[in-house]
Each structure stands twice: as C-alpha cells, then as structure tokens.
Amino acid sequence: MPSISNPTSASAAASPLAPPTLNAPNVGTYVVQLQVSDGVLTDTDQRTITVGENAIVANFSPANSATAPVNSLPTSITLTNLSSGSPTNCQWQVVSGPPATLSPTTSCTTTNLNVSGLGTYGVKLTVSNIASSNTTHTFSVTSGTPVGASIVVNGGVTPINRSFVSGAPSTGTPSTATVSLSSSGSTGVLPLTFAWSITGEPDSTNGAASLSSTIAAAPTLTVRATGLYTVRLDVTDAANSTTFTTSTFRVFPANGTNFATMTSLFTSIGCTGCHSGTGPNPANNSGTAPSWQNLPGSDGSTLWRRVFQRIVIGNPTGSLLFQNPNNSDPGGHGGLCQPGFPCAGSTTNSAQFSNWINDGGPPGN
C-alpha cells in the first residue's frame, strides 16, 4: 500500500456543524493533520488512516454440488452472481460437462446456462475490481419428472360399444369401427416420444386391427371384430428414459348382439344345419353353406352379406329373410316362417338379427 504523508494528496471538508470527510481517490495510507487556534494559541494533531477495499470473493448460485431438476429439454438454468467486494468485471465459463453455452458471459448479475441434456456441469466465475477472485461450481442437471406411460381408451368411457360401419355387403367388404387412444397422463422430461403397438386382438376373418399412427400422441385404433384388444404404449422422454404400459379392453357390439348370442340363436332355431359352413345347401346353390361367422361360402358370399341383402332395416315384416311362407325367398327355408320372426307372430329373434345387421355383423366375441 502506498504511504502518503502530504495532506494535499487527499481533500478534507469540514464545517462548524459537521465532521470533516476524507475523499480518498485510491486505496493507500493517508496522514491527516488537524490544526486548531483560538487566536492566541495554536495546536496540531495528526492521524494515519489506511484506506483499503472490501475483499473480492467469487460466489454464485446454484451452490457447488447442487442439483437442478428440469421438466423439459433443451432448457436454460439461471446462474446468479453472489460475489462480495463489489466486482466491476465478471467472466463466466463452462469448464466441464456435456455441451452447453452461457448467455451472456460477462454479466455481473445473472447469466443463463443453456443445456440440451441431463448431466453434471462445471461453471467457473471470475470476478475482479482492483483484486480478482474465481470459483468453480459443479452441479447436476437432473430429471424433474420421472418418465411414465399412460393409456386412455375411448376417452375413459366404458363399456366401449360400437356399431361397425362402412362395409359393402354387395362386395362382402367388412365393416369396421374405431376406438380412440390417448397418451394423456404420460410424464417425463418434455418432449415425449411415443411408440404404439397392438399386442392382442380377437381372431377375425375381416382382417387385423390397425393404428392410424404408431407415433402420434392420440392415434385411432380401427377394429374389425368385437372382443378383447390389448395395446402397448412405449414412452421415451427427452432425457432418454423409457417405460411402457399396456391396456386391455373389450369392444362390444353397440346393440348387444354378440357372437355368443347369435350362436345360441342359430342353434335354437335349427339354422346350423345349413349355415355351419360345412354342409351342402342345394337350395342356395352354394355348395358349402356360408357360416354366420362371416366365413365365405363357395360362391364367395358371407352370411352377413346375404342377410344384409335380404333385410329391410326398419321394416322387418317386409324383409324376405323374416318371412317366407310361400318359399319365395331364393334362400329357401322350405316355405316356413322361422320362430321369433314377425310372420310367426313374434319379433324376439328378428330383433337380434336386426341388431347384428345394424352393428355391421362383425365377427368376434
């Protein structure tokens, strides 16, 4: 420290009502002299005053060895200068860890650490005024939200009742139904990526189920039969953590007529002899009769297709399928009216047939 004995190197101001103030332009040692006089006598006194600066000590937050949980990537973590000693120059620097940037690098208040992944980062802060100081903090950027997979089927509405639509009875094109799927409730460091798959479905002569997308957050499942389905969802978050879940659900026919009901109906009214899919049916000239389960007959027809072509929806009494007292139906029935049909004075069985047709006649259970 310099030693200044000349009082003129610094200035002092005084007034009768206030103590003097030493205005020191630099750090150092100053000698201050006071002279007093009453007009007759004079006296002087001196004091040595050392002027220094507050110590410069670098410090910032997050603290050394801290953790910084994040919920999305890439992200910015705010670093705050906590240095003592009133530094006027500051320099930030990433010294270790995954690739990252600092913006700005010369702020004496705050800076942003821009990261694209989890990991342990080392940041150095150098501060100075007349003296200088530096410190390095190492801290971990961690996942703020554990990865989790969630599947919501049909908006959470159960049971999943569906009428199958868009079929073409004239060509035997099967009807289909759709079920909404959603990854709502899945968690992790954003953004999340999804992978959907179908891991279980009922056997269907109409073909396999399909997804509108295997990577969308909310795809649509197209089904071609009633019954049990299982879908799987794999979720990967931005921190490359992965998990999965499955959901098993049943698709019901909208009007309640499933294959078990139709099996009982066909058996009770004696239809299995002609419509089992195994025996000859000369009346239909089809060789092997089509099965009610949508198995094609030798003429390429299916029972649903044949039934659809011979029913008048909304007018069962006018449908050839439901009345055949004069054997006018090319399909036969021997001129007999089947039990439970309007021509026999009942609608119990015809209602089940109508429901099956209205639902699209899907195979399944």
pLDDT value at residue 290 = 53
Same domain flag for 130 and 167: no
Q: Which of 238, 253, 268 is the last residue of a domain?
A: 253
Residue 364 lies in a domain: no
Residues 299, 328 share a domain: yes
Same domain? 350 vs 271: yes
CA distance 36 to 145: 75
Domain boundary among 231, 253, 275: 253
Select from 226, 69, 238 the least CA-distant residue to 161.
Answer: 226
- Same-domain pairing of 136 and 203: no
Distance CA 263, CA 271 (A): 10
Residue 341: inside a domain: yes
Q: How many structural domains compose the chain? A: 4
Q: Does a structural domain hold residue 309? A: yes
Answer whether residue 365 is part of any domain: no
**122 and 77, same structural domain?**
yes
| Same structural domain, 163 and 235 | yes
The reply to whether 349 falls in a domain is yes
**pLDDT value for 131:** 85
Structural domain that includes position 337: 259-358
Residue segments in the chain with a per-residue pLDDT below the cut of 70: 1-18, 53, 167-173, 205, 272-338, 342-343, 365
H/E stretch holding 35: strand 28-37
The per-residue pLDDT for 335 is 52
Among 105, 120, 143, residue at a domain's last position: 143
Rounded CA separation 50/31 (Å) = 9
- Based on the fold, state whether residues 39 and 70 are members of the same structural domain: no
38 vs 4, 17, 47, 287, CA distance in Å?
A: 29, 18, 21, 143
Sign of CA dihedral 289, 295, 297, 303: positive
Q: Which two tokens stand for residue 296?
A: 């094609």
3-state helix, strand, coil in the chain (%, to 5): 15, 40, 45
Note whether residue 37 is domain-resident. Answer: yes
Whole-model pTM? Answer: 0.72
pLDDT for 358 equals 74
Q: What torsion do the CA atoms of 207, 295, 360, 202 make, to the nearest 10 degrees?
A: -50
Q: Is 160 in the same domain as 248?
A: yes
Does 300 lie in the same domain as 269?
yes
Give me the CATH number covering residue 182. 2.60.40.10
174 lies in the same domain as 121: no
| Residues 144 and 71 sit within 8 Å (Cβ to Cβ) | yes
Shared domain check, 201 and 124: no
Q: Are strands 210-211 and 119-128 parallel, antiparallel or unpaired?
A: unpaired
β-bridge pairing 227-236 and 242-253: antiparallel
In a domain, 363, yes or no: no
- pLDDT (0 to 100) of residue 21: 80
- Rounded CA separation 278/55 (Å): 100
In this structure, are 263 and 352 located in the same domain?
A: yes
Neighbours of 213 (CB within 10 A): 12
